[in-house]
C-alpha cells in the first residue's frame, strides 16, 4: 500500500507541477487560439483543389496571433510545397513570418529546401530605394545569394534567371491598391515561369484594407502598364494569392497563350485565421513598411484615398501617425476643411492641423479620418480633389500638364473617359456620375471575383 500511495502522490505532484509551468508561460488575459489544423489550400491552374496538410507539429510556446501567414502555414506543414526543390524567392522586407523573421531566413534553414536566388521588386530587396528607380542585379551581402532585379532592365525574370529552379516562391505584401507595383511584379513573374515551366508558389498575406472594400475606376485595356497590370478596380479587395488565382484561371490576364497558361503550375499557400472583414489592425500582426512612404496602416488608407488626387493639380498629401492629411497651395487649413466638408463624402471626418505644418510654416494641412469604414468610398475623395484643383487654378491644370505627367496619370487612373472629361471640362466635370458608374462596376467585379476567393467574409 505504501508503494502504491507514493506512486500516486508522485504522479499527482508531477501533474500539478506541469500545470503550474503551463500557467506560468501564459500571461494573464492572453487568449488561447486553437492550434490550426485545417487544410492547406493549394490553388492550381484550372479547377482549384483542396490538399489536406500533413499532421502539424505541436505549437511552440510563443505569442498567439489571430492570423497565420502563408509562410507560417508553409513552415507548419514541414515546407511540403517546396520540399526537395531548388527555389528562387521574390520578396522584400515586409516578407516576414508572424514572428517578424524574414522569409529569406525561414527558407534558408528549411530542411530539404535549397534557396539559390533572390528576386527584387520595386524599392529593392531591402525596400530602401526610391519609387520608380531602376535597379541593377546584385548580390545580397548578408546571404551571398544573387539578387535579380525585376525593376531594372528587366521587369520579367529571364530564362537565364530561372535556369535550374524548380519553383519561384513569391512573398510580397501588397496594400490593396492596383497601382502598387508588387502585384505587377507577381503577374510578370508568373508569365515567365509559365513560359519556362517553373512552378509558382505564392505565400499569401492579408490585404491591409480587408477583402470587402472595392472602388474606383476599372483599368481600360489601352492604358495597362506596369503600374496597372490587372483590369480590376483601383481598390480591388483581393489578396496576392487571389490575384494569382485570377490570373491563372482567366484567359485574358496573363500574356501567355492559353495552352501555355493551362500547363502552368500555381500553388497558393493560403493563410489561416484571416477573414475578409479584417483590416490590418485586426490581424494582430505588426505592420512592416512596404516602401519608404508606406510605413504604416494609415499610409495604406491614404494611398488609396487621396493618392490619385495629388498626381496633377497642386494638392499634396502625406501620412501622420494618426491619419492622412492633404494641403493645397494658398489655402489655409480652415478654408480647405470647409471645402472638403461641403463635399459631404460618406465616412470621412476632416480636422485642421494645429500649430506648425510638416515644413514648419503655419499649418495649412487638413487631416482626414475614416470615421465610418462601412460608409467610406475609398477613392471618391481623389476625384473630388481633382475637380477642386481645376476650380482653384487660373488654368485647367490637366489640359496644361506635361506629356510625361499625363501619361503617368492615365496609367494610374486607368480611365480614358475620365481624362477626356477632366481635361476638357475641368471644374464642370460631373464627378458624381463617374463615381456612381464606378461603384456599380466595382460591385460587379467583386461578385465575379468570388470564384477566386480563398477566405470567408
Please report, for the domain that includes residue 87, its CATH number.
3.40.50.12170
Domain end marker among 286, 306, 329? 286
Q: What is the pTM of this model?
A: 0.85
The pLDDT score that the predictor gives to residue 361 is 55
Specify whether 240 is located in the same domain as 322.
no
pLDDT band at 212 (very low <50, low <70, confident <90, very high): very high
**Cβ atoms within 10 A of the Cβ of 145, count?**
18
From 286, 313, 339, give the residue that closes a domain: 286
At residue 51, the pLDDT reads 36
Task: Kindly state whether residue 149 falls inside one of the protein's structural domains.
Answer: yes
User: What band does 355 get if pLDDT is binned at 50, 70 and 90?
Assistant: low
* Residue 133 contacts residue 121 (beta carbons within 8 Å): no
Q: Do residues 357 and 398 both lie within one domain? A: yes
Angle value at C-alpha 272, between 271 and 274, nearest 5 degrees = 80
Strand-pair category, 199-203 with 266-269:
parallel
Percent of the chain, pLDDT > 90?
79
Assign 274 a pLDDT band (cuts: 50, 70, 90): very high
Q: How confident is the model at residue 45 (pLDDT cuts 50, 70, 90)?
A: very low
d(CA 108, CA 105): 5
Residue-number span of the structural domain to which 432 is assigned: 297-448
Residues 107 and 252 both lie in one domain: yes
In a domain, 392, yes or no: yes
pLDDT digits (tens, 9 = 90+) for 280-292: 999 999 999 999 9
Q: Please answer whether residues 95 and 171 qualify as being in contact, where contact means their C-beta atoms are separated by less than 8 angstroms.
A: yes
Residue 339: the pLDDT is 97
Please identify, among 258, 286, 314, the residue that sits at the C-terminal boundary of a domain: 286
| Domain assignment of residue 1, yes or no | no
**Same domain (yes/no): 82, 101:** yes
Same-domain check for residues 345 and 434: yes
pLDDT band at 62 (very low <50, low <70, confident <90, very high): low
Cell numbers that stand for 276 in this block? 475578409
Is 329 within the bounds of a domain? yes
Which contiguous run of DSSP H or E holds residue 325?
strand 324-327
Are residues 242 and 308 both part of a single domain?
no
Kindly state whether residues 306 and 173 are assigned to the same domain.
no
What's the confidence (pLDDT) of residue 20? 37
Total residues found in the chain within this entry: 457
In a shared domain, residues 302 and 338: yes
Read off the pLDDT of residues 369-384 as tens digits, 9 standing for 90 and up: 999 999 999 999 999 9
Clarify whether residues 330 and 391 are in a common domain.
Answer: yes
- For residue 92, being part of any structural domain is answered with yes
33, part of any domain: no
Residue 7 lies in a domain: no
Determine the Cα–Cα distance for residues 447 and 152; give it in Å rounded to an integer: 36
- End-to-end Cα distance, the chain: 61
Query: Which three-class secondary structure state does DSSP give residue 348?
Result: strand
Q: Are residues 265 and 310 in the same domain?
A: no
When divided into structural domains, the chain yields a total of 2
**Helix or strand or coil: residue 91?**
strand
Give me the mean pLDDT over the 25-45 stretch: 39
**In terms of domains, do 142 and 282 share one?**
yes
Task: Tell me the percentage of the chain whose pLDDT exceeds 70.
Answer: 83
Amino acid at each position: 500500500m505504501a508503494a502504491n500511495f507514493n506512486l500516486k502522490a508522485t504522479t499527482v505532484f508531477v501533474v500539478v507541477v506541469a500545470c503550474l509551468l503551463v500557467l506560468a508561460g501564459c500571461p494573464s488575459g492572453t487568449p488561447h487560439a486553437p492550434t490550426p489544423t485545417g487544410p492547406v489550400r493549394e490553388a492550381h491552374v484550372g479547377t482549384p483543389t483542396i490538399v489536406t496538410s500533413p499532421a502539424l507539429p505541436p505549437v511552440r510556446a510563443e505569442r498567439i496571433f489571430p492570423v497565420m501567414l502563408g509562410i507560417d502555414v508553409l513552415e507548419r506543414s514541414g515546407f511540403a510545397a517546396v520540399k526537395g526543390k531548388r527555389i528562387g524567392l521574390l520578396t522584400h522586407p515586409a516578407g516576414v513570418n508572424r514572428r517578424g523573421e524574414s522569409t529569406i531566413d525561414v527558407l534558408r534553414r528549411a530542411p530539404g529546401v535549397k534557396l539559390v536566388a533572390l528576386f527584387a521588386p520595386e524599392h529593392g530587396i531591402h525596400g530602401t530605394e526610391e519609387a520608380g528607380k531602376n535597379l541593377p542585379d546584385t548580390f545580397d551581402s548578408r546571404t551571398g545569394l544573387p539578387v535579380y532585379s525585376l525593376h531594372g532592365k528587366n521587369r520579367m525574370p529571364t530564362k537565364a534567371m530561372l535556369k535550374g529552379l524548380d519553383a519561384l516562391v513569391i512573398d510580397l505584401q501588397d496594400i490593396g491598391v492596383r497601382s502598387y507595383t508588387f502585384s505587377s511584379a507577381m503577374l510578370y513573374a508568373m508569365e515567365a515561369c509559365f513560359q519556362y515551366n517553373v512552378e509558382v508558389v505564392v505565400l499569401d498575406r492579408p490585404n491591409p484594407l480587408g477583402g470587402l472594400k472595392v472602388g474606383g475606376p476599372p483599368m481600360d485595356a489601352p492604358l495597362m502598364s506596369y503600374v496597372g497590370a490587372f483590369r480590376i478596380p483601383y481598390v480591388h479587395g483581393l489578396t496576392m494569392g487571389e490575384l494569382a488565382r485570377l490570373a491563372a484561371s482567366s484567359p485574358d490576364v496573363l500574356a501567355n497563350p492559353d495552352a501555355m497558361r493551362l500547363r502552368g503550375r500555381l500553388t497558393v499557400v493560403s493563410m489561416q485565421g484571416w477573414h475578409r472583414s479584417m483590416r490590418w489592425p485586426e490581424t494582430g500582426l505588426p505592420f512592416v513598411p512596404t516602401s519608404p512612404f508606406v510605413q504604416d496602416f494609415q499610409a495604406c488608407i491614404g494611398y488609396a484615398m487621396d493618392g490619385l488626387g495629388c498626381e496633377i493639380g497642386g494638392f499634396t498629401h502625406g501620412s501622420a501617425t494618426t491619419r492622412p492629411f492633404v494641403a493645397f497651395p494658398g489655402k489655409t487649413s480652415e478654408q480647405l476643411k470647409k471645402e472638403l466638408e461641403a463635399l459631404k463624402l460618406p465616412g470621412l471626418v476632416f480636422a485642421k492641423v494645429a500649430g506648425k505644418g510638416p515644413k514648419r510654416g503655419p499649418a495649412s494641412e487638413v487631416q482626414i479620418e475614416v470615421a465610418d469604414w462601412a460608409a467610406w468610398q475609398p477613392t471618391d475623395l481623389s476625384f473630388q480633389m481633382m475637380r477642386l484643383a481645376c476650380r482653384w487654378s487660373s488654368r485647367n491644370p490637366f489640359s496644361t500638364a506635361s506629356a510625361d505627367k499625363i501619361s503617368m496619370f492615365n496609367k494610374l487612373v486607368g480611365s480614358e473617359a475620365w481624362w477626356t472629361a477632366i481635361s476638357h471640362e475641368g471644374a464642370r466635370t460631373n464627378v458624381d456620375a463617374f463615381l456612381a458608374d464606378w461603384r456599380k462596376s466595382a460591385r460587379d467585379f467583386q461578385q465575379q471575383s468570388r470564384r477566386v476567393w480563398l477566405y470567408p467574409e
